[in-house]
Structures are given as structure tokens and as C-alpha cells.
């Protein structure tokens, strides 16, 4: 099973991923936790460029770098792990490209659809969306570390991201499970476990 976790900045993905990891370990189920961008040696270099607030990057360049990271991630981590029968949980995947580079940067959905179709990337079996008001998310994100190139974008940008994720959840109800990220972490984990496994 291939699972992605999505949401805006500060929505609590890392906490949920840690909880799922603990659960799978306790249940003795084989799994791999991974993330985008930056889970391979090529991806780590791309991540550095992508998050660096000193870089000015054309939206299409940004999109193509995200897809370069994704293809390497699929080849080197996701596909081999799935072939070994492991559950793969990725912290962000293609829905982040539709949100950030699509709704955020203004690239048309058709361009991203085209890349998805031409590269033949795998789609997750299940996607958990942690939905949160961006004002709360940005406050959480800015209180814990220095903001990166995406977190530094204005509130409007983050509002567009939230809408894009929610639109995707409506468009693909079979794949998406949306959870209110203002719930307590324990509740969120319980809901996720009960729906996923």
C-alpha cells in the first residue's frame, strides 16, 4: 500500500507520520517512511535548491525540479519498497505539486496533468489530507524554525494551497481521507489508523 500525507505548512504531518510509524512498528508490519522533496542523494541536492530562500526560481523550473525529485524517489525508494511488499508512507507527493506549483504559483492544472500522464508516476492508494486554516498553520511553522522559500509566501498563497488540497479531496473521494488538523494529535492518529489499516 502506497500512502501520502498532505496539507499546508504547520498542519501536523510530521506528528502523524511519527504516530503511524510507531503503530506499524508495534504491529510488526514492514513499512518505509519517506518524504518529498529530498529522499534520495539526487533529491537532497534538489531540495537544497528548492527550499533556499536566496534562490529566485521560475515556477516551471520549480515544477520540473519537483518532478525530477519525484521520479528519482519513485525509482530508488517507493517502487523497490512496494515490490518488497512494504507499506510506503510519503510525507508529501504529487498533490503538493498541484497545490504549490499549480494553485500557488499559477501553473495550469493541464500542465501538471500532462507531466503526471507522460511520466507515468504511481498514484497513492490513499492520501491523508490534514486540513488546517493557514493562519494557524503559518503561526505554528514560524514558531518552530526559520521559514523556507515556500513558508515565506503570503497568506493568500497559503489559502490557495488549502483550497487546492480540498478540491483534490472532493475530486478523488476514494483516495482521500480529510482530517481536521485542529483535532488532538491522538485523535488524528486514531482516525488515520482506523481508515487506513
Binding stretches for ligand TYD (CB under 6 A): 9, 13, 35-37, 51, 66, 91-92, 96-97, 100-101, 148, 150
Residue nearest to ligand TYD as judged by C-beta position: 100
- Residue 76 or 197 with smaller CB distance to ligand TYD: 76
b/e sequence 107-139, b meaning 16+ C-beta within 10 Å:
beeeebeebbeeeebeebebbbbbbbbbeebbe
C-alpha cell at 153: 509566501
Question: CA 153, CA 144: separation in Å to the nearest integer?
Answer: 17
109-119 helix and 59-73 helix, angle to the nearest 10 degrees: 30
Q: What is the DSSP letter of 93?
A: -
11 vs 87, beta carbon nearer ligand TYD? 11
CB nearer to ligand TYD: pick between 27 and 120 = 120
Minimum gap (Å) between residue 11 Cβ and ligand TYD: 8
Q: Give me the least distance between CB of 13 and ligand TYD, in Å please.
A: 6
State the nearest-atom distance from the C-beta of 9 to ligand TYD, in Å: 5
In the Cβ-directed half-sphere of 65, how many Cα atoms lie within 13 Å?
20
Other beta carbons less than 10 A from residue 163's beta carbon: 13
- Minimum distance from CB of 195 to ligand TYD (Å)? 21
Closer residue to ligand TYD, CB minimum distance, 36 or 131:
36
Nearer to ligand TYD, 35 or 126 (CB): 35
How near is the Cβ of 148 to ligand TYD at its closest, in Å?
6
Alpha-carbon Rg for the chain, nearest whole angstrom, is: 16
Amino acid at each position: 500500500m502506497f500512502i501520502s500525507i498532505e496539507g499546508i505548512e504547520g498542519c501536523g504531518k510530521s506528528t502523524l507520520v511519527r504516530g503511524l510509524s510507531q503503530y506499524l512498528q508495534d504491529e510488526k508490519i514492514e513499512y518505509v517512511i519517506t518524504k518529498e522533496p529530498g529522499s534520495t542523494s539526487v533529491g537532497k541536492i534538489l531540495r537544497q535548491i528548492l527550499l533556499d530562500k536566496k534562490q529566485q526560481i521560475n515556477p516551471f523550473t520549480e515544477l520540473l525540479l519537483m518532478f525530477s525529485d519525484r521520479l528519482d524517489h519513485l525509482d530508488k525508494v517507493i517502487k523497490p519498497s512496494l515490490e518488497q511488499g512494504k507499506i510506503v508512507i510519503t510525507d508529501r507527493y504529487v498533490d503538493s505539486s498541484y497545490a504549490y506549483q499549480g494553485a500557488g504559483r499559477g501553473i495550469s492544472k493541464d500542465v501538471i496533468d500532462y507531466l503526471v500522464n507522460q511520466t507515468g508516476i504511481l498514484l497513492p492508494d490513499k492520501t491523508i489530507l490534514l486540513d488546517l486554516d493557514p493562519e494557524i498553520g503559518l503561526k505554528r511553522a514560524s514558531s518552530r524554525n526559520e521559514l523556507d522559500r515556500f513558508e515565506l509566501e503570503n497568506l493568500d498563497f497559503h489559502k490557495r494551497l488549502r483550497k487546492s488540497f480540498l478540491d483534490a479531496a472532493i475530486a478523488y473521494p476514494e483516495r482521500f481521507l480529510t482530517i481536521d488538523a485542529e483535532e488532538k494529535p491522538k485523535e488524528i492518529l486514531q482516525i488515520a489508523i482506523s481508515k487506513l489499516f
